[in-house]
Structure 1
């Protein structure tokens, strides 16, 4: 049970070499290994305690090492019995369905497989059915004796169903289920599932095969996993699984994850996954990242997984954000949190935070706000509704494109007040994007600095304000994109405003802001003042509304 991050540091050459010639050599080698082990595992007292039991056990002394037919076989016996772990591989089990043909199942058990066996659905799930009956503690011979007596048969199957249910529910995420095994004519066993709700009501009773594919997979997996782990009484084993629960709803994936987590207490569990919902341990060495080295065409394993490629890390980053998601859905947190302002792009979020630091004006600071960047424009509306419905005072910052105007109309139809929707504007004039708060000459400095390097081979020359203003389009970004379109034959590609955002925000962080004029500062300050004013208006309206409700209730 040595954790991976310790295992890779341990020098095991003493055990891999020849058998020690005498007691003194054995004792010296064991002492050196033990000292090294204590140094490496100094932060893991439980691991050291386990090693001490092996080290001090009379069975593991030199005299017992040579008890086999030869020195080599004796050493092999010692390693196999004391040091070599037991590996258990869980395959992708066949799903079971609603009806089990007991005649065909018993033939399978006896090894009498027919060429084509069908009943309702193809029956090749003998292993899963065997585990189902094992968990239910259902003896086929006992069933054979009572099946002609309905009352005895029902009593037997009710007891088996209750045992089966009690063993499956601890691993079942969400509302509990109840499993009924029912015997039908033709020697058919039906598996009937019901949902059991918190208030005790039972609904959705029906055959297992009526459920979704993910449900059937989860049911079959838990049946197999629970049965085989209980049957084997797994302890100090290495359990291997390949992408478990990959087709399941995230809630059910977390249920499987909890099951693996419990097993990891006395075993090592090794499984591959692409799902953020299947990661429960982010400890370096316990979570490994495997990615393809495109130059060597070999797999690379990262123990310090944050050094892997960002695209490879995507599921891990989503998993690491789970706490943030759970905090959003907690209404107590929402009600008592700072207001949220949802912006349409990551650039909007970066500018708001960077210029807040740059301006350093406590009267209009963004500190009282949580800035949340939507994934894209069509996620703004549902994100705003989600925050609002979970108790957050929610505001939305939009540009003046047609798509954003449609979002504004949808917000109003979903009972957002006009105060909560803020459009970019300056001195009563609508602005196309947040970049238009930056004076054009100031903005062209990072544009020229960035593309002078990126497009050096493509003949890029520094742009002037006149070059940009001569182009058609609303806002500086559209004009710049027009220039890039005109140079498409020169392989300029597309103008990427996010590169410029990063340049400006990085310079602000480094306090290298000589290219930003006072006019740019003033124009950004007006945006912060607009946001602060809308928050005050919203609070005043809500306070008056709450006061009216109180006075009416008092009257």
Structure 2
């Protein structure tokens, strides 16, 4: 189950409800300090805390300027604070339809609404007819019962529709089972109640990790045991107010140490038992710390000579509470400097954050009471992860986030350009604090405030500095193969005295359509002339059309390849096309066969071998799959390799139609730029 969108507000600095799409893997919140990034994470966290501790409190959470007015109506009409929309996986949808005899469609979505009184309300569109159809087909019931059921439109109306019948024993037993279902259903729709009951047991929970969850350098274990006992005593009273008050006894540092102890299979009470030695407990903790350090070093490349030391000892000369009972000490030893160790909190903040996070993450999974913790779905909320890491270490840390995202959706905040994948800027959501409006979240990276999008521009600039050159006039294309073909064809045309691409125009391969959109959004406002040439998939690209609607680029500056494929309809979109489709199929296959002659073992692919289709690249890949031929271990083939051969060994001559196609393309681009 995936979170697909969120509506939050009013909540703290979010005065007006903000709707944000959530990426299936990683969503990044970018904005200035105090813009409201953490506020957004807190709202999600309180919506369904994995630890069951964080809840909404209007005194703490409702926007302060409107709080007095709201409190007057809170008890009677608590406001909505969050609306979370989820989508089921194909497997989950199949299970639900099979279990409850529904026919929910592919891509089924539903919403969960959270209010300030912490009530939960589902928003689900359900058609009861498939369930009624299933009930009518029950072979145990009589024909009279089936006739009566033909007119009912809901499960709840079944008893009323059968009062006039003379029921058989089977009818009575069947009707009793239906009435039991109705009695269990808290909502008007019985089917909706049952679907909601199925869904809520599988809802992903939110887990929040920030600066305050770090492990301390030392903690008194006797004091910790006292605090834990106080919380247990409050829980035994089943008094909500006492339980809530007792939770404040356990601060994040206490919970972090409890989590570390639990990983070592140690309880706090173990340290308070008379005559208990600490060596065996210390050995267990050291074993866990070594395991965690090894996990960290898979991603931590700044200094691989670090390790965490754990010590437990009495210190009667310390200040209270450290002078009463055993203390746990955490230190970081640097083997590079002859084993010098320093208190945990005085060493690299990046390393301590990483170590603390692994402890916390294990603890959160352990606290989930339903199912195997390893299989429980979580949505991880990370506040400024990697804040204290070196720029290159932040890039390493992104690999760890990708690892987490293989199993859990991740939403994190940052204002560092090195905590952004420059080729995944579609995952970015911009957060701004606007005067008289409050916190605003948007997918539109072309924010009006340049300070907000500075990390995006810096991330993109870092990529440009390494890979690209931008000029005043730029033709944005999706990949490097496009650049090679355009350069080669421009040279061939110019050699014949025909129109090629003007010299002052720079072809910029962006790395995919998503990045084309980002380039236009971020660079178009800087006075640069931009045109886009993109592959055509048989339908308009909504992301590009959105740029036109937002007036970031004109529609005439968006050129798709298919406009130059059919010489009788130049300038009009046609069949799905890539740049390679402007070449004769036989010519492209000739270069393909030469490029992969070794892998093909001298066999040649001809057009008659290929399946029917519009795009030559897709046809070749389908042929390779269908025949079991492999020219690349990962499947498919390297398009760039064919383009490289085309550039290094261009054809001696080309047919008139091909030259006209490319000449028409270059004339169109020249006219735009």
> Same fold judged by TM-score > 0.5?
no
TM-score of the superposition, structure 2-length normalised?
Answer: 0.36
Ranked by relative contact order (alpha carbons within 8 Å, sequence separation 6 or more), the top structure is 2
Larger radius of gyration: 1
TM-score of the superposition, structure 1-length normalised?
Answer: 0.42
Q: Which has the higher helix share?
A: 1
